[in-house]
Structure 1
Amino acid sequence: MKTINSISSSKKFDKGHVFYRFEDKQFYINNLISFIRSGLESKEHILIIESMRTLPQIKANIDEEFSHQQKKSIRLVNNFDYYLANGDFHTKTILAHFQEDLSTLNKKNTLIRTWAHVEWASEEPDVFLLEEFESTADNFVKGKGMISVCAYAAESLSSTLDTTLQQLHQYIMTDDNFFISPLYNG
């Protein structure tokens, strides 16, 4: 299984906001499962916000890879509820869902890491809405000292969106690379 060693095995990476620009679905799933495994090894709860098209494959991988006890620490959520339920990319709705899910996990008194596959209905989202959302998310992640990956399909990103996301995330991840964002302005 090909995964990115830097995010999956580095003990130095224990918090931060990551922009994952993915191209290959199988690498994406391998990296997600590695992210879950690393979180479980660190005794963290994991919130995965994922596309309904990909959820069945992720569930199958989780069922195959992890024990019943480990699966209790993994929460899977359909990303439609986050990004599309109240129209296309409504920041307040997204943040309300996120805080509700984190609140549920916080009751278990443990560290949390998150992974979100971000999508939108329109051909391209409003850059200002996306910037508002990711800026708020970046402040939240820094404030909580947690790990949060925001995954975007590379083919859905214009060069403007890609640059904006690099400015709003401390780290950048691709299917086979992981590095500090040279454009981050947090």
Structure 2
Amino acid sequence: MQKKIQDLISSVKDTGAHIFYSFNDEGKYVDNLIVYLTAAIGLGNHVMIIENDRILPLVQKRIKSELTEEQQKMIHTINNYDFYCYRGNFNKKTILSYLDNMLAPFLENNIPVQTWAHVEWRDQEDIFQNIGNYEKEANQILQSTTLITICGYDANRVPESLKDILMDSHDYYMTDDTIQQIDRNS
């Protein structure tokens, strides 16, 4: 999987990409995150990781053991609960505003940045529709940038109806072991 991720990052570095990652294996998920941020740093890009309190310590342990201090300075983390439930629930406008504010210092200073976001949510009314609307709008915003972003979803929490929406609002579909470009013409 390492070569697939590195090849993808290299091939979309000038155009950007919005990648839907449906994961089943948390260990492979962490491995793939480490490969992604290593590839990004190899291109001179900073990486914003939006992750939960349970997985983030595993990632940070790997970062400390596998990357130099200089490389570690290029990694920025935020708790995904704070990010996605900033106002107590999953709200598209709040999240997009938070994302814009978070990325602004990088973009305004021409500092290349990539993101990795583990998307999670609380139980709330119309949550899958809200997530779908968020991803569609995020995709429209990303089309005008060269940002490479991976949106990680636990496959066990994604019903087919949401998966269909996510497939329609991303450029690539990634699993623990594969990456493929999404063909919207079929």
TM-score normalised by L of structure 1: 0.91
Alignment of 1:28-177 (within 5 A): 28-122=29-123, 126-177=127-178
Partner of 1:8: 6
Identity of aligned residues (%): 31
1:108 positional shift: 4.5
1:93 positional shift: 1.5
* 4+ aligned runs moved over 4 Å, structure 1: none
1:4 positional shift: 4.4
1:146 positional shift: 1.4
CA distance in 1: counterparts of 2:126 and 2:27, whole angstroms = 25
Unaligned runs of 5+ in 1: none
CA distance in 1: counterparts of 2:49 and 2:110, whole angstroms = 18
CA distance in 1: counterparts of 2:124 and 2:33, whole angstroms = 26
Determine if contact 1:21/1:175 at 8 Å carries over to the other structure.
Answer: yes
Number of matched pairs: 183
Pair 124,44 (structure 1): closer, same or farther in 2 beyond 3 Å: farther
Task: Render the CA deviation track for 1:121-145: whole Å, top value 9, x for unaligned.
Answer: 1178623211221012112222111
Pair 52,9 (structure 1): closer, same or farther in 2 beyond 3 Å: same
CA distance in 1: counterparts of 2:185 and 2:134, whole angstroms = 15
CA distance in 2: counterparts of 1:125 and 1:108, whole angstroms = 38
Pair 161,4 (structure 1): closer, same or farther in 2 beyond 3 Å: farther
1:87 positional shift: 2.4
1:84 positional shift: 1.6
